[in-house]
Amino acid sequence: MNAKRRKKRQLRNLICTAWCGVELLIVTLAFLGLGKVLQRTIETGNYKNVSGIWGDFSLGNPYAGQKKDGPVICLDAGHGGKDNGSDYSQRFEKDDNLRITLAVAAYLREKDATVLLTREDDTFVSLEDRCSFANTNGVDYFVSLHRNDGDGAGVEIWVDSAADGETAEMAQKILDGLGAVGIQRNRGLKKGTQKSENGDYFVNVNTDMPSCIVELGFINNAADNQMFDAHLDGYAAAIGDAVLATYEAHKDEHAQGGDADGGGGTPGTAGVTGGAGGAGDGGTGGTAGNGAGGVTGSGDTGQTGTGVNGSAGAGSDGAAGTGVTGEAGATGGAGDAGVPGVTGLGDAGAKASDTPGMSGIHKAAGNSISGMAGVKSFLDGLRAQQEAADAAPEVTMIDPSDRDNTSQDWGQGVNVDEKNRPVGALNAQAQYGGLNALFIGEDTPTVYLTFDEGYECGYTESLLNTLKEKDVKAVFFVTQPYVRDDGDLVRRMIDDGHVLGNHSVNHPASGLPAITAEEQQNEVMGLHNYMLENYGYTMSLFRYPAGKFSEQSLAIVNNCGYKSVFWSFAYLDYDVNNQPDQTESLKKMVDRLHPGAVYLLHAESETNAAVLGDFIDQARAKGYTFGVIG
C-alpha cells in the first residue's frame, strides 16, 4: 500500500473511530431511557410485563466472562415460575428440570465449555424468549431438559421432524449415555410430537442450531423419581459428555466462517459491543485486524462485519452487518483496523450479542439502530411496550378460601331490558365482574362470537371458512383432548387470528366446584401448559365446563391469570342427534341480538355451521359489529 493510500486509510479510520464514539453515546442514552422505563414498570408492580420486555434474563453479558474456545451450549430448564409443568404429590417438574439443568451446567463448565442458561431460578420465560436467547447469542447446541408424566416409565428424547445428522447424533449420544448410567426404560429417539411426526415442539423448530428435548423419566412414576434423584450427577455427566462428543466430531464445521450457523464473535455486553464478524482466516482475537468480538479484520473470504460506516471488514464481497448505521461490511480491499461495531437492539438476524429477550421490542431482521432516527424508533418501541403494559390488566390475587364454593348453573334467563339485554347477565356482571368474570359486554352495538370445542364433528372447518370469508374473529374454547387430537384445526385457528380459550383439561361434567381447589387449578393450568409446550400459545380466557361455577372457582381461575368468560346468548344446539331447525335457529339468533352480546355456539352443531354466514350478514344489517374478547 503506498503512502498516500495509507494516509487516507488512517484518516478514514480516525473519522470512523470518532463517529463510533458518537454512536455509543447515543446508545448509552437509549439505555438510560430504557432503565427509566424498567424502573417505572417495577415501581408500578407490572412484574408480569417485565418478563414481556426482558424475558427474565440478566442485562449483563450472558457469557459472564466465561467464553471458552470450545462449544457454546444453551441449557434450557423447562417450565418455571407460574408454569409448574407436570406435578405429582407436590413434586413439580419445573423444580426437577432446574436441578438437572444446573447439574449439567456445572459439569460442562468443569470441562471448560461455555454454558448459557435460559433460566437459573424459578422464573417464567416464554418459549419465544428461550429460542430468541439461544439464537441471538450464537450457541452451538440447545438442550431442553424436562420430566414426563402419564402412563409410562423411562427416558425419551424428542427432535424436530426433519432432524438428521448432527442433531440426531447428539440426541442419540445423550440417550445412550443416560442408558449407561441407568434408566427404567429406553423409550427411544423420537421425531415430531406425540401427536404427529410431521409436527414439531416449539423449541425444536424455532432454534437455529442442533436442539433436542430430553424427557428424564415420568414424574408420577416412583421408580423413575428414585432413579432421577439417585443418578442426578450421573445423568448430568452423561448429557454433558454426549454434547461434548458431538462437538468434537463436528468442530471443524463449527470453526468455518466464525461458527457453523453463520454468526461469529464473542457477544458484547448487553448488546452494546458488536459480536458478528469473525470469519475465514481472520481468527478470533478481537484485536484490530484480527477477527471477531466486535472488531472485524482481514480474511481470505468475505465476512459479516459490524464496523461503523462500513469501515471494518474485508475480503471479497463482505456482507452488510448489524452495526449502528446498518452499513457495516466492505467490498474488497484489506481491512487494517476494524472499528468495534454496536449491534442493534432488535433481533438482527446475525448471531451477535443482541440483548437477551429483546424480541418483544423489535421483531424485524436487521432492526439495528441507525443514528438519531434509529434511537427514535427504538424509544418509540419502548413507549409502545410501556403503553401496552399500562393497558394490560394486572392480576389481583383473590383468596379462594374466603369465597363460597356453592355450585351455580349459569344461564342468562329470558327476561330482558329495554335494549333487549338479558337481565340475568346484567345482574351477574354487576355481582361477579369484580372477580374477573365477563357475562355481557359494554353497552355498544358489538357482538362477540365464542365457540365451545369439546370434540370434533366435522363442522369446524366450515365455521372457520365462513369466519374468514366474513372477516370476523372469534374465541374457540378448547379442551385438552381436542387440541391433542385436532392439531391441524387448532393451528388454523391460531393462523387465522382467532383467540383460543381454555375449556379445561377433562371437561368435568360435574363442574369445577365439585372437585378440590388443587384439582380445579390443574384443570386450568394443565391445558395452559400443554398449549405452551405444544403450540407456543398462551391462553388467558376460561369457560366453565357445563357452565357450573362458584365464587371460589372464579377466584381460583383468576389467580391462574385468566378471565372467566360466560355468555348472554345460548340455545340448545349441542345435541348432535337432535339438531334444531335452521330457519328457526337463525331467527332466534337474530331476534336476541343486544348490545355487548356474548354468543355461545357449539362447534359440533351442523345448524350453526349452516346459518353462521347469514347471521353475521343480518347482524351487520342491523348496525352491529363483531368484536373479539381479548
Confidence band (pLDDT; 50, 70, 90) for 340? very low
User: In degrees, to the nearest 5, what angle opens at C-alpha 127 toward C-alphas 121 and 133?
Assistant: 75
Confidence band (pLDDT; 50, 70, 90) for 11? low
Query: Would you list the domain boundaries of the chain?
Result: 3-53+272-388, 68-255, 400-627
When mean pLDDT is compared over 61-70, 231-240, 245-254, 343-352, the highest value belongs to: 231-240
Mean pLDDT of the chain: 77
**Fold identical between 68-255 and 400-627?**
no
Annotation marks residue 233 as catalytic: no
What secondary structure letter does DSSP report for 448? E
Judged by average pLDDT, the poorest of 52-66, 131-145, 340-354 is 340-354
How crowded is residue 496: how many other Cβ atoms within 10 Å of its Cβ? 13
Nearest to 154 by CA among 218, 92, 88, 236: 218
CA distance 183 to 500: 38
Cα dihedral sign, 364-369-372-375: positive
Which numeric CATH code is attached to 400-627?
3.20.20.370
The pLDDT, as a whole number, for residue 24 is 78
Strand runs labelled E in 95-238: 114-117, 141-148, 155-159, 186-191, 211-218
CA distance 145 to 156: 11
Judged by average pLDDT, the poorest of 33-42, 65-74, 487-496, 561-570 is 33-42
Q: Give the active site residue among 250, 503, 594, 602.
A: 602
pLDDT digits (tens, 9 = 90+) for 263-319: 333 333 333 333 333 333 333 333 333 333 333 333 333 333 333 333 333 333 333
Judged by average pLDDT, the poorest of 196-205, 469-478, 606-615 is 196-205
pTM: 0.44
68-255: CATH superfamily: Zn-dependent exopeptidases (3.40.630.40)
More confident of the two residues 511 and 306? 511
The pLDDT, as a whole number, for residue 616 is 98
CA distance 92 to 219: 8
pLDDT digits (tens, 9 = 90+) for 234-257: 999 999 999 999 999 998 888 764
When mean pLDDT is compared over 20-29, 281-290, 450-459, 612-621, the highest value belongs to: 612-621
Q: Give the active site residue among 129, 452, 486, 573.
A: 452
The pLDDT, as a whole number, for residue 396 is 84
The pLDDT, as a whole number, for residue 344 is 33
Annotation marks residue 452 as catalytic: yes
